Every structure is written in structure tokens, then in C-alpha cells.
Amino acid sequence: MLKLGVNIDHVATLREARYKGRATGEPDPVAAALDCEAAGAHGITAHLREDRRHILDRDVWALREAIGTRLNLEMANTPEIVGIALDVKPDIVCIVPEKREEITTEGGLDVVGAVDALTETRKRLNDAGIEVSLFIAPEGAQVEAAARTGSQFIELHTGAFAEAFENEDARQREVVRLTAAAMQAREVGLQVNAGHGLTCANLPAIFGVPHLVELNIGHHLVSRSVTIGLPSAVKEMLSVMKGYQDAA
């Protein structure tokens, strides 16, 4: 069964728009996470950015205490954030590239150019009982390098697919890339997640990509929640996801 991890970053984005610098504020990302779990989500994802633009340290600790499913901490490979992960002990971390000027994470991690550093971090996290995923573009060299780090998962960046969705030829090219990367990952012992830009409308177009374990989806669900509520948005996405059958 394809699992859904709900990214609650943009619940915190909305809170910080009014309550930045305050000890409390609404909406509460932890309450949102609990609503997602109650609606059937299999896990909760939160990105603790270096600039703390949305999710804050207190949110991560509160999520660790409150949720009953799987906590996925997205993070850059920096000493400060790695140290926090080792203290909080999420179930899994997803290491992502991070640029201060970007609105959201754009592009995949350059694992090829950072195998040694990522391997060292992976070992430290695994020794603490934390699984490791690397957020990468669907490129053969990056998949191969991810396997060399000893990580348990990759998360395929589906942003290019989402951007190409309205153009049939371009969309199909991206589906081919995702499929090849997923198949290669399985061959080298990696489990495969995916995320970025996925919606109820575009998701069925990647149902042919094999070996997917979990989708991490945030912005679309928070956006849908404005009109139909967060639990309904989660249930809607889970209903679409039932169409995925890994026949490979």
C-alpha cells in the first residue's frame, strides 16, 4: 500500500505570517498533524530550515511527543540541524539541499559531490536509530551515489514532473526518468519515496512508476484545506492514492 506523509510546513508558514517571534499562535502545526493522522495519514513531515522560516525547534519537539505515526524530519546536512535531529530522534530524516532565497526546496541534493559528508552523517543518524533518506533528482548518477552513502531511502524529486504536467510529451519524459530512477534504486537496495508538487490532479500520471513506498505532500493539502478542511483534503488524497498498484 502506498503511504502518505503529510508535510505540515505551510501550516507553520501561515502562523508565522502573523505570530512570528511569539511563543504561541495559530494555526498550530501539531494540531494539524494530529488531524492528518486521524484522517488516515501514515506519517508527518516537517522541515526545520536553518532560517526557521516556518517550522520552529519547539514544533519539532512537540511533534515528536504528540504524533503516533512516523515523524520525518527534512533537514540540511549542517552541524546544528544534525545535532537537533540526534536529540529529537525522528523516525527518519530526509536530507535536502537548502537555499535561503528559495520559497521551497527546489532541485535535488548533489549526492555525487558530497558522498563522504553524507555518508558520515548517515552513519551518525543510523547509529542513533534514525533512518536516512536523500532527496534527489531522478538521475542515475545520483541514485548510484545515494546507494554508496548507505542510506536506506531516496526521495525522488517530482518537481520537474509537476512543472511539465500540462505538456504531454514533457510529462511523459519525466515519468520515464522517474521510472528508471525507481527501478535503479530497487536494484541497488534503496527504498523509494517521492514528493514535490504532487496534487490529486497530477498524481495518477505517475502511477506507472514502480516501487514507491511513500509520498510526501504538503502545499497541495494545505491549499485544499482552505476550502474543504485538512481532514477532508487528506482523505481525498488517500482516495486518489488507492489507484496506485506496484506491479513490478
- Among 74, 98, 155, 174, the active-site one is 74
54 is known as an active-site residue: no
- Distance between CA atoms of 73 and 106, rounded to whole angstroms? 17
- Among 47, 54, 157, 220, the active-site one is 47
211 is known as an active-site residue: no
| pLDDT by 10-residue block (mean), the chain, 248 residues | 97 97 96 98 97 96 98 97 98 87 66 97 98 98 98 98 96 98 98 98 98 98 98 98 82
| Chain centroid to CA 146 | 16
Domain spans, the chain:
3-241
Q: What is the pLDDT of residue 100?
A: 57
Count the residues in the chain. Answer: 248
- The answer for residues whose C-beta is within 8 angstroms of residue 101's C-beta and 6 or more apart is none
- Distance between CA atoms of 108 and 8, rounded to whole angstroms? 20
- The answer for residues whose C-beta is within 8 angstroms of residue 140's C-beta and 6 or more apart is 180, 181, 184
Q: What is the CATH number of domain 3-241?
A: 3.20.20.70
For the whole model, what pTM was predicted?
0.95
Q: What is the pLDDT of residue 246?
A: 73
| Chain centroid to CA 84 | 18
